[in-house]
Amino acid sequence: MCGIVGLYCKSPELEPLLGERLSAMLVQMDDRGPDSAGVAVYRDPAPDGFTKLTLYSAAPSFDWLSLGVEVTSTRARHAVVLVEGDPDEAEARIRQRHPDLRVMSAGHAIEIYKEVGRPSAFAETFDLADFRGTHGLGHTRMATESRVTTEGSHPFSAGDDLCLVHNGSLSNHNRLRTHLRRKGMEFQTDNDTEVAAAYLTWRLREGASLEQALEGCLDDLDGFYTFLVGTADGFAVLRDPIACKPAVLAETDDWVAMASEYRAIAVLPGAADAQIWEPEPSVVYAWEKALV
């Protein structure tokens, strides 16, 4: 099953409330994905010349200050740090020195937090309601294709400030993973969504626009999917041509929201008067600062 939520603040007055709203949406999708939960939040861009990384330590007692970089915040086993250099350099440096740490996200504004367990417990442990930000997305997982682990939870990083959450299952992920490994992509799990995220990363590196990379999914991915992709400036939605995995979009003057079900949108003030529709199959929907 799995549940997806996303919220984009059109009105800056909403930004201090992003976490509170996103948390309320995520908890509504608790029973669609009781195995694990995760969010990506976009906020507080790193200064020029620096990359913001979200790191995860399987060991609960890791001393983040021992990294020798600026630690801007810690939550549960996650820490947000600022590292000099572009995202690729920053990520490579941390991986080389600390192979035991996982890099959850790399970019300028993105932060990714995810953990196994019920989404309602996740919202509390990570104090989701406390997050300010311009936009965020979340996922509740009911595992089908691979084990229930922190690494197998969504969102998956898909490159600089990009991430992917997925409801569905892909059937050609093994073959595609082999293909992408030959292109130099690295994988941390045997999860199908990680392959879709790596596919997007690879296409973008090859020069495709986000829209082109998403449209490529229609040809190159076999299986069921509703995707929500977080970008530095907004988010994008794509459903496979059969479209059996649900999605609802809603928009008011103040926000754009996406969710697996309307009940996750119903918790937002203004939902009753929002424009509400179901995204068409095989059509890319995108919101960015420049467009709204």
Partner 1 sequence: MTRVATATEVVDLAACSLRELNQRLHDVAGDHPEPRHWRVVNPNGTHAVACGLDAPVEVEIAGHVGYYCAGMNQRATVRVHGNAGTGVAENMMSGVVVVDGNASQSAGATGRGGLLVVHGDAGARCGISMKGVDIVVRGSIGHLSAFMAQRGTLVVCGDAGEALGDSIYETHIYVRGEVAGLGADCVEKQLRDHHVAELRALLDSAGVRDVEPSSFRRYGSARQLYNFRIDNAGAY
Supply the minimum distance, in Å, between the C-beta of residue 21 and partner 1. 15
Supply the minimum distance, in Å, between the C-beta of residue 278 and partner 1. 6
By C-beta, is 104 or 247 nearer to partner 1? 247
* Residue among 87, 119, 138, 246 that touches partner 1 (CB under 8 A): 246
Active site residue 163: no
> Which residue's structure tokens are 């994905």?
33
- Distance (Å, rounded) from C-alpha 202 to C-alpha 273? 40
CB 29 within 8 A of CB 3: yes
Catalytic residue, chosen from 2, 9, 163, 217, is 2
Coil, strand or helix at 65: helix
# residues contacting partner 1 (CB under 8 A): 16
CB 74 within 8 A of CB 155: no
Q: How far is CA 242 from CA 160, 161, 247, 269, in A?
A: 30, 29, 13, 32
Amino acid at 269: P
- Distance (Å, rounded) from C-alpha 26 to C-alpha 120? 8
What count of Cα atoms within 13 Å lies in the side-chain half-sphere of residue 149?
15
By C-beta, is 29 or 69 nearer to partner 1? 29
- Distance (Å, rounded) from C-alpha 251 to C-alpha 255? 6
Stretch that binds partner 1, among 105-113, 127-135, 157-165, 256-264 (CB under 8 A): 256-264
By C-beta, is 175 or 263 nearer to partner 1? 263
Q: Which of residues 66-85 bind partner 1 (CB under 8 A)?
A: none
CB 278 within 8 A of CB 185: no
- Distance (Å, rounded) from C-alpha 69 to C-alpha 208? 33
Residues facing residue 140 across a β-bridge: 3, 37
Helical spans, DSSP H, in the chain: 18-28, 87-97, 119-125, 173-182, 192-205, 210-220, 262-265
Supply the minimum distance, in Å, between the C-beta of residue 266 and partner 1. 4
Supply the minimum distance, in Å, between the C-beta of residue 280 and partner 1. 8
Supply the minimum distance, in Å, between the C-beta of residue 78 and partner 1. 31
The interface mask with partner 1, positions 260-289, x = CB under 8 A, is: -xxxxxxx----x---xxx--x--------
* Residue among 71, 82, 243, 292 that touches partner 1 (CB under 8 A): 243
Stretch that binds partner 1, among 55-63, 142-150, 175-183, 242-250 (CB under 8 A): 242-250
Supply the minimum distance, in Å, between the C-beta of residue 82 and partner 1. 40
By C-beta, is 66 or 275 nearer to partner 1? 275
Determine, following the binding rule CB under 8 A, whether residue 17 of this chain makes contact with partner 1. Answer: no
By C-beta, is 133 or 246 nearer to partner 1? 246
- Distance (Å, rounded) from C-alpha 60 to C-alpha 145? 27
DSSP state of 161: T
By C-beta, is 101 or 264 nearer to partner 1? 264
What residues make contact with partner 1 under the rule CB under 8 A?
Answer: 242-244, 246, 261-267, 272, 276-278, 281
- The residues annotated as belonging to the active site are 2
